[in-house]
Amino acid sequence: MFLHIEHVPSGETLHLRRLSPTEILDPTALTDRWLETEEFSRDLTDGYIPTGCADYRTEIRHTLKPNPPVIWDGLDWFGSV
């Protein structure tokens, strides 16, 4: 499994790494842990954000192949400085 965090409008990959077999497959927890080292944070939402409608997307992927990626779980989110 792989963790992939991307800036959706630009398609830029911000973070990509292989997950260890002991890591919990929770995109929210993995995103928040990664953001602890960054200069911005994730805005908390009060509801559902449809896929592709946020500024950032975190995906837990089975493979890195982009066509099509096999996604285990995902999180769409907005960031703030």
pLDDT of 18-72, one tens digit each? 999 999 999 999 999 999 999 888 887 766 777 778 899 999 998 877 677 788 8
Q: What share of the chain is helix, strand, coil (3-state, %, to 5)?
A: 10, 35, 50
Domain ranges in the chain are 2-80
Q: Measured between alpha carbons, how far is 17 from 28 in angstroms, rounded to an integer?
A: 16
pTM: 0.85
Reading phi first (left if > 0) and then psi (alpha if -120 to 50, else beta), residue 73 is in beta
Cβ of 35: how many Cβ atoms within 10 Å?
18
* pLDDT level of residue 76 (50, 70, 90 thresholds): confident
Whether 27 and 42 have beta carbons less than 8 Å apart is answered as no
